[in-house]
Chains A and B, each alone.
Chain A
Amino acid sequence: MGETKKNMAIIEIDGKKFEAEEGENLLQFLLKNKFPIPHLCYHPDYEPAEACRLCLVEVDGKIKTSCGVKIKDGMKIITTSEKIKKLQMTNLRLIAYSKLRKQNRQKFNFDKIIEFDMAKCVDCGLCIRSCPVFAIAFYGYGINQKVAPTKNPCVYCGQCLVHCPVFAINTDQNEFQRIVKNIKTKKIKIAQVAPSIRSSLGEMFGYPHEKMSGEKVVAALKALGFDYVFDTAFGADFTTFEEAKELIERLKTGENLPMLTSCCPAWINYLKFYQPELLPLLTSVLPPEIIAGNLIKHYFSKKIGVLPKDIYLVSIMPCTAKKSEIRRKELVVDGVFPVDDVLTTVELGTFLKKEKIDFISLKEISFDNPLGEATGAGVIFGVTGGVMTAALRTAYFLLSGKNAKDLYFEKEITSLKGMKMFNLELLGKKLKVAIIDGLKNFYQIKDRLSEFDYIEVMACPGGCLAGGGQPKPVNSNIRQKRREVLYRIDKEKAIKTSHDNPFLKKIYSEFLTEEKIIHKYCHLKH
């Protein structure tokens, strides 16, 4: 059988005929067709809650919340009647009126990383639905209802933040001010920029999702006073190279399988807090940001003749959990942390706006060298599946001495909702790998880990490109557009495999010359 064709439904909206898919969500269809339906508690990522009662329409004469209606053939919908308008306005006014009792509510925060301003909360419940670990919940009833932390520790993925419709959830603003002050006062300031920022920072200044603006990001950071700006994707090439070596080693010995990726800090937090027994399965290779930090502080510092402790290194990340990762004491090398502070994409955008730096009119500047040029493999780390694809490209090369023909390993992929599994030949044996898109989906394979050899987990659906530090809104369309940007960069890069990066080769021959040194800067036993 070929593709099963979905049933079409002809519906009438405000007297006009439309063709829709049978069973499609009515609110989504209305929004897609530019009907301005107000809504707060609906997000296409989750099941509708039908709580805010703003998206009311008349369906065959009955008043319904359109987010909870599935389209059926012959439906008659009215969106503009006086009655509907009045009800929508009343609910909107009531939500505004609720500020009166909420104004004195306390803020709470998760470890000075994610901050909840309960005075702004509109009880939509999207944060609760987005949380992969049930770290927040509604408490109390009626007018005493409040969102509050549960006993479950937060993994700082920040999905609550990107799904909150009213900016009640933010990164910790005191911390943000502290970092801003540091940037203004420290002497030697270096920034590194994660691959996913390339398209998303521009969104905050009106660029379309698909527009690349990596060089503008560099220019913006220089305008803020950073002396050097490096590409975190370059660190990703080191992660890839080391991770491929470790994968081969583990496959040879058959021990510690499946190997789990370690570049998503929310995922590591999840393991630390909830399943510490799995920590030994993590690859010992450090995430790109941390390796890049080590190289900047201990290798690049020598090039410019300064001490590692005198460098103030800020990472620009699409991620809130990175803020927790850089605080880990185990990461300290020779008395200094690899990275001093993390700014999220949104924080950087806010900072630029406050400084009145006009992003659009900035002249483009390239990343600094010798830590600037990354391969395509390094860039796709920002997409779910990218880490694994990059590592497999290099593992293939290390085993066979040549690069694979299909660099995307797209054969035999079985897709489930939120995860991909596929088999491939490596070392003459079948390798079963899984890519988990969104921490919630890890629960699907939690009890069958032994079936796999290699598992990548990204806590945020879509990967870093839709991380907790990225601009709002985020939905499957926007994720797709941001994904295309990163894959386009990969396709356009002459070098798509980490092991072929000439700068990487140079650093291995100049600096990372012995196993001991490599381990010091690129590995950590979890």
Chain B
Amino acid sequence: MTKEEVIEKIKFSGLCGRGGAGYPTGKKWEEMYKRNPKEIYICVNGSEGEPGARKDGYILEYHLKELIEGIKIAYYLFPQTKRIYLYLRKDYFKNYKEKVELLKENLPLAVFKEPGGYLCGENTVLVNSIEGKRFEPRKKPPYLSEVGLFGKPTIVNNIETFYRVYQIVNDIYENKRFYTIGGEAKNPGVFDLPVDITIKQVLMATDNLIYENQFVQLGGGASGIFYTFDEIDKQSANFGTGVILIYNKKTSMVQIFKEKLDFLIKENCGKCTPCREGLYFLYKLVENNKLLDPSLERQIEDVIENLVVSSFCGLGSGAGLAFKSLWEKRKKIWP
């Protein structure tokens, strides 16, 4: 197969990045292919920092060969690749480094141990962390495809994206993605299901259908959007990292806020005010038992909206959207 044919196939499949942002993979790769820079880097993102997500681990465990084949396809398209970094969170690094080394053959591939936490999964932070810099997002533009790792054009894609590329090129892609189901689920796990189905269909197919006293968070434990029982049959499940967390109304909003904030106040990079201080403000409200104080409602809404609109990077606005959706639906969930 020629390189053009490979790219055409990926484009035709409609594959979108599976790391969360959902950028069309074919478009990303074609653009790089046409520009044809002298030297590039490829990063395979296996940071999987969204609370609840396990699909990258699932692929490493059950489809490692196919993943390596997918990476080989990228290397076939871009032989000018100086190095491929398989970027793995600490537990994945420990469990799979040796296996990858045995399978990589002549690929110029290095398995890289993620030095930080959640925020290293953001592509520009990932690149900074490989360079040994502080874990902080970079400003875009310039995009990583122009000025990326060590100043060179760089392709960063999620582990699942490479796995799906392998399927596409070998004509076995069925337009599916992995969903990780967790929280108070009856049947938690990672499931391979079609991209274009609703949350309800995912839950039905996996024997996890929820009841009226339940609701879900779609996309990830930190940046996923909350949906009520009434919304799940209208809402497409194709969002973020494909995580669906199931909650019970017995859990209070304050508890959910607390759980998310305990995680986020330490896992944000500290760079911008809306994220560092906005999350701290909410955290203190929860700590002082003021989250439900009606006189603070406006202020809370301002801080959350500010997090959505004025954060430096996607992690901040993602967290903002998560809080915003829960906050807006609180009266429906807990009438």
A window 77-101: CB within 8 A of B = 86-87, 90-91, 94-95, 97-98, 100-101
B169 at interface, CB cutoff 8 A = no
B280 near A141: Cβ-Cβ < 8 Å: no
A140 in contact with B310 given A95-B277, A100-B284 (CB within 8 Å): no
Q: How far is the CA of A125 from the CA of B275 in the complex (A)?
A: 16
> Chain B residues with Cβ under 8 A from A144's Cβ?
266, 270
A56 near B284 with CB under 8 A, answer: no
* Cβ of A143 under 8 Å from chain B: yes
Do B306 and A90 touch (CB < 8 A)?
yes
Contact of A143 among B265, B303, B305, B311 (CB under 8 A): B265
Q: Are A94 and B303 in contact (CB under 8 A)?
A: yes
- Shortest B115–chain A CB gap in Å is 12
Stretch at the interface among A47-55, A155-163, A228-236, A474-482: A47-55
Q: Is B240 an interface residue (CB 8 A)?
A: no
A123 at the binding interface (Cβ < 8 Å): yes
Is the CB of A68 closer than 8 A to any CB of chain B? yes
- Measured CB to CB, the closest approach of chain B to A360, in angstroms, equals 39
Q: Which residues of B contact A401 (CB under 8 A)?
A: none
Q: Is A15 an interface residue (CB 8 A)?
A: no
CB proximity of B305 to chain A, nearest CB, Å: 8
Kindly state the separation between the CA atoms of A90 and B310 in the bound complex, as whole angstroms: 10
Asked if A141 meets B268 with Cβ closer than 8 Å, knowing A94-B273, A98-B277, A101-B280, the reply is yes
B273: which of A53, A100, A101, A137 is its contact (CB, 8 Å)? A53
B residues 257-299 near A (Cβ < 8 Å) are 264-274, 276-281, 283-284
Report B59 CB to chain A, min CB distance, Å. Answer: 28
User: B75-110, CB under 8 A of A: which get 1 and which 0?
Assistant: 000000000000000000000000000000000000
- Flag if B270 contacts A138 (CB, 8 Å): yes
The complex places the Cα of A37 from the Cα of B306 at a distance, in Å, of 17
Give the total of B residues in contact with A, Cβ under 8 Å.
Answer: 32
Q: Could you tell me if B273 and A51 are in contact, using CB atoms closer than 8 angstroms?
A: yes
B-side interface mostly: helix
Per-residue CB contact flags for chain A residues 49-76 toward chain B (1 = under 8 Å, else 0) read 1111110100000010100100000000
Q: Is A142 on the interface with B (CB-CB < 8 A)?
A: yes
**Is the CB–CB distance between B119 and A141 below 8 Å?**
yes
Q: Are A97 and B277 in contact (CB under 8 A)?
A: yes
Given that A86-B302, A87-B309 are contacting pairs, would A53 and B274 also be in contact in the complex, using a CB cutoff of 8 Å?
yes
Q: Is A509 an interface residue (CB 8 A)?
A: no
Q: Which residues 124-182 in B have Cβ within 8 Å of A in the complex? A: 134-135, 139
Contacting pair B310 A56 (CB below 8 A): yes
B312 lies within 8 A of chain A by Cβ: yes
The 8 A CB mask of B214-255 against A (1 = contact, 0 = none) is 000000000000000000000000000000000000000000
A145 part of interface (Cβ distance < 8 Å): yes
B289-335 residues with Cβ-Cβ distance < 8 A to A are: 302-303, 305-306, 309-312
Given contacts A68-B139, A100-B284, contact A142 B272 (CB under 8 A): no
Given A56-B310, A90-B278, A94-B278, list of 7 further CB < 8 A pairs?
A49-B271, A50-B312, A51-B271, A51-B273, A87-B310, A97-B284, A138-B134
What would 26 A/B residue contacts be, using CB atoms closer than 8 Å? A49-B271, A50-B139, A50-B312, A51-B271, A52-B272, A52-B273, A53-B312, A54-B273, A56-B310, A94-B303, A94-B306, A98-B276, A98-B277, A123-B271, A123-B273, A141-B266, A141-B268, A141-B270, A142-B264, A142-B265, A142-B266, A142-B267, A142-B270, A142-B276, A142-B279, A143-B283
The 10 A-B residue pairs whose C-beta atoms are closest, nearest first, are A145-B270, A94-B277, A90-B306, A142-B268, A91-B273, A53-B310, A142-B266, A143-B265, A53-B273, A90-B302
B residues within 8 Å of A by Cβ?
116, 119, 134-135, 139, 264-274, 276-281, 283-284, 302-303, 305-306, 309-312
